[in-house]
Amino acid sequence: MEVTSPIRDLIERLKQGDVSALARSITLLEEGSLDIPSVDTLLGAANPSLTIGVTGPPGAGKSSLIDWLIKHMRDEGAMVGVLATDPSSPFTGGAILGDRIRMQHHFLDEKVFIRSLGSRGAQGGISRITRDAAHLMRAAGYRYIILETVGVGQTELDIMNLADTVLVVLVPESGDFMQAMKAGLMEIADIFVVNKADRDGAKQMVNALKFLTESPESGTGAWQVPILLTNGLDGSGTKDAFETVRRHTVFLEHHRQTGQFLRKRQHGLKQLIVEQLSVKIEDLINEVLADRYRAELMDPSVSLYSIFNRVMQDKGFTGKLFG
């Protein structure tokens, strides 16, 4: 995609910390009018930042917990960005919940940028543009970037490849959900948070999670997944949750030379390649379904494989892929 002068100017303003430029850039991402690989050199080297994923079943109090995490981050003077994926409107494709309402304590703080993104049918619990939007936030100088998922399910595990630290938020009533998601939860969780800890069954949930997190690697230098109790109403336990996130960051820095860091980067690159190729493929499909191949499509004697091979040849792919 050609980088126009207005886009260059927009990126330059974004790098200077212009919030309106960041908001406009994310809107262009949603519209498909901004291609991050094309402007990556303009964005420059990534600023130091920490990406935190917050996931869990609907109703677990993820947004309330994030509200308190933002407070603790702002107490140290850091700029905070939040990308909250919400279910999409079937009419506009936009987010229909609007997390800015649920995080209203920071609505007027110019050092906090909160953006709701429509999931638009994405199966990974996060919007398709979340990675790109987070990249823009880093370029704009945000120290902490929080990614909230629309929920969590067997297919909604993409957050683990985007975030440095993943908090899985549960409530005392999450027992059935936890059993259904046992394997996925253990794969993505760096920290377990049992929210709404004033409810009956909170300690039993902690004990159940302790049983699940027992690992034969204990004592070998592997990260031992903490289990924390919080209450989004009064903020109790949330400062400890923030400090645990920082502790996990230190752990990651000390273990950067291990296979865990490399595996996360490899998974992230793999996901990025798939995402970018999917966009290109969708563009190609839209072009194919237009009038260019209408005659062949209307002729029942021409096989779809033959049309496919012609499409590949027209696009510069040499050799037939079929036959």
Q: What is the pTM of this model?
A: 0.82
Specify the pLDDT at position 306.
87
- Burial code (b: 16+ CB inside 10 Å, e: under 16) for 168-205 equals bbbbbbbeebbeebeebbeebbbbbbbbbbeeebbeeb
Does the pLDDT at position 153 exceed 60? no
DSSP string, 57-114: STTS-HHHHHHHHHHHHHHTT--EEEEEEEPBPTTT-SBSS-HHHHTGGGTT-TTEEE
The model's pLDDT over 308-319, given as tens digits with 9 standing for 90+, comes to 888 888 877 765
- Contact criterion met (CB below 8 Å) for 174 and 205: yes
Does the pLDDT at position 51 exceed 90? yes
Q: Give 152 or 289, the one with higher predicted confidence.
A: 289
Q: What are the strands of the beta sheet with 227-229, ordered from one edge?
A: 112-118, 80-86, 144-148, 50-55, 165-170, 191-194, 227-229
Specify the pLDDT at position 174.
79
Q: For the packed helices 259-288 and 304-314, what is the interaxial angle rounded to 10 degrees? A: 110
pLDDT band at 123 (very low <50, low <70, confident <90, very high): very low
**Least confident range of 173-177, 182-186, 204-208:** 182-186
The model's pLDDT over 193-214, given as tens digits with 9 standing for 90+, comes to 999 999 999 999 899 888 877 7
